[in-house]
Each structure stands twice: as structure tokens, then as C-alpha cells.
């Protein structure tokens, strides 16, 4: 075990384009000292493992990253800023009593059955709208339905769509619902079946589908060390309700968030990017900065659906709805391939944030696709 541990530590210290961050429970003891310093002997051993002896010009898939003895100190001003709104019944006495929900059917031509009135999604980029990303997290399977891309005919290595996933390898999560899947998975292709040696993400599986969400807010601690937060609600509400244009009346929080008191609707100030991936063990699909937002390149981020909905997750379904509505959703209609190392790099970056983001290093459960009667009728294309 000692030799395995030492080898793993050396690899962690030189992750491809990543940082040497690891949770203490990875090996059952504190690794702060070991990761804080690296001996010349360690470097020599890696040099030999990479067959660099006699080949000083050989390229390797690793870089070294300095780890200073101290980090910028400060206070997480976003901690505890979440505005708590309970889930609620979607329908009472056969009447819909909530605002529009997510994740919806985003297939081209689909129209939801809930009249959103003048509530509309952000149609520009979120940067242009004055929002910044405040978190990144992902769900097991897709929450959004895009027929032919991620739907009930998708394939993957885990449990059936709609079933609860075993948590034995998901130490930080409860049983979670499996969402929709993409159509890429091929059990005869090694890139979908070759295991990846995860160092930072927890409970992830090569070949599986995951929907990544990047919540954005006009009230985030944008451009500061406190920008990224777990839970994401802390980031969304960090700088105060006034930044969202609400909180200026004596109405209830729910009425303010939903604009019932005359406040601007939340969909102009809070939004989510969504992109769906199938993970492969293939470095030709490596992207180094997945934490910061979705990929816009070629077919990635090309066909975007926009609508207003709500927060999602396994605690909501078509009977129990989210009170955090309306918010803007911009979701890529196409499913894409991404390397496992891209996700692991993202998790490594998450570990470097001032806030503790360990609660988002694993996949969350997927909400079932929103029924037509609670899906907004304002779906647009970007």
C-alpha cells in the first residue's frame, strides 16, 4: 500500500494541466505535508517512469505547478447567504399553483403548456446581461430532453433510466435518480469502457451521461475569491437581494423572488447554463477549463435552447415543484463527448476555491423531465 500511495502522490503532484489538490479521505490520512513539498527523488522517479532517461527532449503529458507555502487569506462573505424557499405542490385541486419548472423538453418545436405571460429568458450571453458563474455541479444523466440526443433511448453502463443509483462508490451522496442518456455509448469501443483513475471527482463512471450546470447571478461575488460557492444558492444571493432588484418591499421572500410584489422577475438576474456530456477515456476530448462555463466551439454550444424555468434536482418531480422560479435556462440541445480528465481537472479546480465545494464533487440526482402542464411556453432558440 505504501508504494501505491507514494506513486499516486507523485502523479497527483503532476496531473496533466491540473493542480495537486486532494481530499484528506482519499488515502485515510492528511496529505497536506506530502502535497506541500516534493522531493528531488520524487521528480527523479517520475522522470524514470515516463522513460525520459536519455531522452531529454521527449514530451510528456504533465506539467509542474508551484504550490506556495501560503494562500490568500480572507473571509467567505457568501457563506450562509442562501435564501431558503421550500418545495411546494405543483398542482392543487387540479390547478397549477407554481411558476414554470425545469428541466424541460428542449426539442426543437416543443411548446410547454404553462402561459408565462411577459416572463422571458435572457437572450444575450450572461456576461452581456451582467451575470457571472457562481458554481458548477452536475447530475447523473440528463434532466433536459432533446429527442435524438439525450432521451429515453440513450445508452450507458449504469442502472436503467429513472432508477436509483447505488451509492457504494458515491460516498458523499445518497441514492440518486438516473436521468436520460445520450446515444454515444458503445460497449465495444474502449474509450467508453476503459476505467479512468479518478483523483478528484467522486463516483464518476466512464461511458456515463452527465448534465453539467453553471448557475449564474447578478448578485454573485463576481471577480473575487468568493465567486464560486457550494451550495450554489450562497453564490446566487451573495451580494444581497437588492442586486437582484428584489427585497425592496415587505412582501414574503417567495413573492419577491417570483415578482408577485412588482419586483423584476428573477429570470433577468439569475440564470443557468446547461451542457450534456458522455465521458470517455480519450485525451483527444480534453478541455482544461470546464469549471468556468460551457464549451462554445464547433458543434459544442452551437444549438442553444432558452426558456424560463426553475431550479432542478432529485428532490423535485412533477408533483413536488421548486419555488425558485422563474430563472433563465440556456441549454445546449446536443450531447457531446468529453474526456474523464476534463472532469477531474474541473474537480481539482473546485478544490482550490476559497469556499468548500466538496459537496459538488459528485453527481447529483436528476429530476424527471417536466410535464407539459408545468413547462413554460416561451422556449426559444439562440
Q: What CA–CA distance (Å, rounded) separates 22 from 26?
A: 7
Cβ burial 66-82 (10 Å sphere, 16+ → b, else e): eeeeeeeeeebebeebb
Q: What CA–CA distance (Å, rounded) separates 225 from 229?
A: 10
pLDDT, tens digit only, all 382 positions of the chain:
333 333 333 333 334 433 333 333 333 333 333 334 567 887 788 888 888 888 888 888 776 666 555 566 789 999 999 999 999 999 999 999 999 999 999 999 999 999 999 999 999 999 999 999 999 999 999 999 999 999 999 999 989 999 998 654 545 456 899 999 999 999 999 999 999 999 999 999 999 999 999 999 999 999 999 999 999 999 999 999 889 888 666 677 777 777 777 667 789 999 999 999 999 999 999 999 999 999 999 999 999 999 999 999 999 999 999 999 999 999 999 999 999 999 999 999 999 999 999 999 999 999 999 999 999 999 986 5
Beta-bridge partner residues of 216:
133, 271
Where along the chain do its domains lie?
1-70, 88-381
As given in the structure block, the three cell numbers for residue 167 are: 451509492
Q: What is the pLDDT of residue 215?
A: 98
Helix (H) or strand (E) run with residue 257 in it: helix 253-257
Specify the pTM: 0.85
As given in the structure block, the three cell numbers for residue 121 are: 429568458
Residues 318, 358, 77: CA angle, nearest 5 degrees:
95
Judge whether 300 and 332 are in contact, CB under 8 Å: yes
Judge whether 131 and 328 are in contact, CB under 8 Å: no
Q: What CA–CA distance (Å, rounded) separates 365 from 299?
A: 27
Beta-bridge partner residues of 199:
none
Nearest to 102 by CA among 86, 91, 92, 114: 114
Amino acid at each position: 500500500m505504501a508504494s501505491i500511495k507514494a506513486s499516486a502522490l507523485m502523479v497527483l503532484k503532476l496531473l496533466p494541466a491540473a493542480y495537486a489538490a486532494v481530499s484528506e479521505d482519499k488515502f485515510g490520512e492528511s496529505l497536506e505535508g506530502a502535497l506541500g513539498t516534493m522531493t528531488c527523488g520524487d521528480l527523479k522517479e517520475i522522470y524514470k517512469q515516463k522513460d525520459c532517461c536519455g531522452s531529454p527532449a521527449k514530451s510528456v503529458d504533465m506539467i509542474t505547478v508551484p504550490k506556495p507555502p501560503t494562500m490568500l487569506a480572507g473571509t467567505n462573505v457568501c457563506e450562509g447567504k442562501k435564501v431558503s424557499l421550500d418545495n411546494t405542490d405543483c398542482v392543487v385541486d387540479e390547478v397549477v399553483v407554481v411558476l414554470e419548472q425545469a428541466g424541460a423538453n428542449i426539442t426543437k418545436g416543443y411548446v410547454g403548456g404553462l402561459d408565462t405571460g411577459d416572463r422571458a429568458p435572457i437572450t444575450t450571453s450572461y456576461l452581456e446581461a451582467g451575470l457571472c458563474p457562481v458554481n458548477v455541479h452536475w447530475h447523473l444523466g440528463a434532466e433536459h430532453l432533446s429527442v435524438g440526443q439525450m432521451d429515453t433511448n440513450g445508452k450507458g453502463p449504469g442502472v436503467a433510466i429513472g432508477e436509483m443509483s447505488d451509492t457504494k462508490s458515491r460516498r458523499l451522496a445518497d441514492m440518486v435518480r438516473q436521468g436520460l442518456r445520450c446515444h454515444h455509448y458503445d460497449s465495444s469501443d474502449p474509450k467508453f469502457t476503459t476505467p479512468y483513475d479518478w483523483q478528484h471527482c467522486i463516483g464518476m463512471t466512464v461511458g456515463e451521461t452527465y448534465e453539467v450546470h453553471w448557475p449564474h447571478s447578478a448578485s454573485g461575488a463576481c471577480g473575487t475569491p468568493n465567486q464560486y460557492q457550494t451550495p450554489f444558492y450562497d453564490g446566487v444571493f451573495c451580494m444581497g437581494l437588492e442586486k437582484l432588484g428584489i427585497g425592496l418591499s415587505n412582501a414574503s421572500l417567495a413573492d419577491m423572488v417570483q415578482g408577485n410584489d412588482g419586483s423584476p422577475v428573477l429570470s433577468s438576474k439569475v440564470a443557468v447554463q446547461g451542457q450534456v456530456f458522455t465521458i470517455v477515456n480519450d485525451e483527444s476530448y480534453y478541455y482544461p477549463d470546464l469549471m468556468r462555463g460551457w464549451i462554445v466551439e464547433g458543434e459544442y454550444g452551437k444549438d442553444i435552447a432558452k426558456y424560463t424555468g426553475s431550479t432542478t434536482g432529485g428532490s423535485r418531480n412533477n408533483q413536488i415543484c421548486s419555488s425558485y422560479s422563474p430563472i433563465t435556462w440556456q441549454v445546449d440541445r446536443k450531447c457531446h463527448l468529453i474526456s474523464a480528465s476534463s472532469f477531474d481537472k474541473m474537480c481539482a479546480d473546485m478544490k482550490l476555491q476559497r469556499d468548500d465545494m466538496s459537496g459538488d464533487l459528485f453527481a447529483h440526482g436528476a429530476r424527471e423531465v417536466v410535464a407539459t402542464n408545468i413547462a413554460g411556453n416561451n422556449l426559444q432558440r439562440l
